[in-house]
Amino acid sequence: MAVQPDPTREWREQYARYCLRVDFEPLPGTTFDASVKPIFPELGIIRTESSPGFIFRDEDLLRDGNDSFEVIFAQSQELNITHQGCEIRLGPGNATIMQASATGRVGSRKRFGFLEVLASSAEFEKRGCRAGDALMQHIGTNSGALKLLRGYIRSLEKSSSLTMSVAGRGIVHRHMLDLMAVAVTSRRSVGESSLGAVAAAHTRAIFDHLASHFSDPELSLPKVAQSLQISPRYLQRLLETSGTSFTAHVNELRLKHAFMLLTAQDLSDVRICYIALQVGFSDVSHFNRLFRSRFGDTPKGVRANQQTSLTSKVPCSEPRVGINSRSYSALRARFSP
């Protein structure tokens, strides 16, 4: 007879693989289910969701000798934490700090979720940070350092650490530890700090914001700076350090998206001027000039080439002026989702 899988045991093993040895106390009358999503395994950054109940470390589990500190971000409407003789209730986006060398529990009577970042006490000490002084203190969503840390983690989720080089993972690792130390010791805005981790987090936030808002025709450097609570000059300097400028990067995002729309088969009847407006260009003539300079053909020519490639079984002996069939295929592959 086949042995039935034990979901609680499987979850414990998965959680311990990426973070700590813990156990789970389900709420009476509920069925256990939980998930663990590793974001950056090297740092113990994981996202956990669970059915009602409490994750805990007791005296028996403390025997593993782990003394790491954990920054816990609430990802649900209610997250209750008991640790070091204190109780705290966190709302969405709020955070606190726990230490693995003391008993504690995290959970809720409702389904709950949280984001967890782990770092050793030695790493904090190396950065002159006394993380123990901040245990079980409520860190609200208005903390500038916490916002940077949370945003940096979101950016990491979009670009998996598995695709990074060893050197790249090392840099991210250092940045995360630096940001954690800043978040633990500073509750105010970190401003335009010269610390490399802060600059890296701000830079990621800038690129993420532009990727989400490039189609806004009113998008401007001052507006983005205001939204991210940094100065326009600082924003411009960070982009220049990254090898681009505000205008160049926004135009690149808009042009890539326009290329994708122009070559989408189900959008072949949408007017080019409408696509230009949709991606954020308010001047169609300006869009046409930039598009031809970027891709070697006009928007109309690219669309026609796409239609020809879909309907022709035999390639034309005379290639079109601008983008030839081989170049077009390469561009299509590059800019298609």
pTM exceeds 0.75, yes or no: no
| Two tokens, residue 266 | 């189900």
pLDDT at position 287 over 70? yes
| Two tokens, residue 142 | 């208005």
Q: What is the largest CA-CA distance in the chain?
A: 80
pLDDT in tens, 18-76: 999 999 999 999 999 999 999 888 778 999 999 999 999 999 999 999 999 999 999 99
Q: How far is CA 79 from CA 28, 90, 114, 138, in A?
A: 18, 5, 8, 12
Burial label for 203, CB within 10 Å (0-12, 13-18, 19+), is middle
Do the beta carbons of residue 45 and residue 156 sit within 8 Å? Answer: yes
pLDDT score for 102: 95
% of the chain at pLDDT higher than 70: 87
Q: Where are the domains of the chain?
A: 7-141, 258-335
Report, as an integer, the average pLDDT of 110-115: 96
CA distance 333 to 330: 5
What's the CATH fold of domain 7-141? Jelly Rolls (2.60.120)
pLDDT score for 207: 93
Report, as an integer, the average pLDDT of 197-218: 91
Average pLDDT, the chain: 85
Binned at pLDDT 50, 70 and 90, residue 152 comes out as: confident
pLDDT in tens, 62-110: 999 999 999 999 999 999 999 999 999 999 989 999 999 999 999 999 9
CA distance 195 to 260: 38
CA distance 30 to 108: 12
DSSP 8-19: HHHHHHHHHHHS
CA distance 182 to 127: 9
In 3-state terms, what secondary structure has residue 309? helix
pLDDT in tens, 289-309: 999 999 999 999 999 888 777
| Two tokens, residue 116 | 């967890």
CA nearest to 83, candidates 104, 69, 99: 104
Q: How far is CA 315 from CA 127, 301, 308, in A?
A: 63, 16, 9
